């Protein structure tokens, strides 16, 4: 019969369980150092939620109590060098191991949907870029393992720092972003991230640009930089996707990131007052990439 208890697992106890499992010859999947580092950092920051219902599952092999599920959490306790309360279930049949972790992990979009965010996919992807920039200085750089967060903590970060500001920005402009995406000038979420940031610098200028990009074929550009940006965006699509214009593995992200840099470059070039061509936009994009994250972190956002 299964037995459930809530226990304070010390680093010493965690190490003993892991060692006993290895000694018994029970082979699990390889330990991911990245997951251990992330979990340990969350435990040290007090972000580890012990009452989610997740358990450390223990069984027996060769008369020894072994870990069937929970090696990353136990390894993180050792790495964090701090005791953590965990729910433990004992007497789990070793043969049940093959059925563990078969479901799809919940992502940030799932969590924001349950939390009642409208257009959760747009907000989750834009929010992840905001989190990356806040953490690393650039929306394109993945935080180090000790700064990384799980999906639940990223969702909490977005909610605590950008709700309702992000929804208030996106919702009345949703139709514009859809038209920009349909015109293949940038994916909705990356463009929401960028122009949400730019609106903090100059809201009116931001809206002028969005209206132009949504109808650039019929509207006059607010500045030559945005005409050059449209030209550069077309060339970038051709460079990355080729004449077929079809996305292949990896190209979607490359194009998405590239277009965000193009529009950020157009914004900076307009402000600089220099003569504008698509080559100037290209040069500014290269400058940002070569000096990242410093090349990106010059928006002059209000403190």
Q: What tens-digit pLDDT sequence spans the chain (303 residues)? A: 889 999 999 999 999 999 999 888 887 777 889 889 989 998 998 888 888 888 999 999 888 899 998 999 999 999 999 999 999 999 998 888 777 766 667 799 999 998 899 999 999 999 999 999 999 999 999 999 888 888 999 999 999 999 999 999 999 999 999 999 999 999 999 999 999 999 999 999 999 999 999 999 999 999 999 999 999 999 999 998 887 767 666 678 889 999 999 999 999 999 888 788 889 999 999 988 898 888 887 665 544
Core vs surface per residue 172-187: b (16+ CB within 10 A) or e: ebeebbebbbeeebbb
Determine the CATH number of domain 3-99.
3.90.1530
Cα dist from 246 to 106, 249, 252, whole Å: 29, 10, 9
Angle at alpha carbon of residue 118, lines to 113 and 122, rounded to 5°: 85
CB 129 within 8 A of CB 157: no
In angstroms, the first-to-last Cα distance of the chain is 58
Q: Which long-range contacts (CB under 8 A, 24 or more apart) does 64-67 make?
A: 64/20, 64/23, 64/24, 65/17, 65/20, 65/90, 66/17, 66/20, 66/21, 66/24, 66/26, 66/94, 67/17, 67/18, 67/21, 67/26, 67/28
Domain with CATH 3.90.1530 in the chain: 3-99
Segment holding 243, helix H or strand E: none
């Amino acid at each position: 019969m299964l037995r459930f208890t809530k226990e304070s697992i010390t680093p010493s106890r965690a190490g003993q369980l892991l060692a006993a499992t290895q000694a018994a010859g029970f082979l699990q999947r390889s330990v991911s150092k990245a997951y251990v580092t992330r979990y340990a950092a969350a435990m040290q920051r007090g972000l580890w939620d012990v009452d989610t219902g997740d358990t450390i599952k223990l069984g027996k092999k060769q008369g020894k109590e072994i870990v069937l599920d929970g090696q990353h959490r136990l390894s993180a306790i050792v790495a964090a060098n701090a005791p953590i309360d965990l729910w433990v279930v004992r007497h789990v049949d070793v043969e049940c191991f093959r059925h563990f972790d078969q479901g799809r992990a919940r992502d940030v979009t799932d969590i924001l949907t349950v939390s009642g965010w409208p257009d959760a996919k747009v907000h989750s992807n834009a929010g992840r870029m905001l989190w990356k920039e806040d953490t690393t200085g650039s929306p394109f750089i993945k935080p180090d393992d000790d700064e990384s967060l799980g999906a639940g903590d990223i969702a909490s970060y977005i909610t605590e720092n950008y709700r309702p500001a992000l929804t208030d920005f996106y919702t009345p402009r949703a139709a514009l972003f859809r038209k920009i995406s349909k015109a293949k000038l940038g994916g909705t979420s990356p463009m929401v991230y960028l122009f949400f940031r730019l609106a903090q610098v100059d809201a009116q200028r931001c809206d002028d640009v969005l209206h132009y990009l949504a109808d650039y074929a019929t509207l006059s550009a607010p500045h030559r930089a945005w005409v050059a940006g449209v030209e550069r965006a077309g060339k970038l699509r051709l460079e990355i996707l080729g004449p077929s214009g079809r996305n292949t593995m990896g190209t979607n992200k490359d194009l998405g990131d590239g277009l965000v840099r193009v529009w950020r470059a157009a914004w900076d070039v307009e402000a600089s007052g220099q003569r504008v061509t698509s080559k100037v936009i290209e040069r500014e994009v290269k400058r940002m990439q070569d000096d990242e994250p410093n090349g990106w972190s010059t928006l002059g956002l209000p403190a």
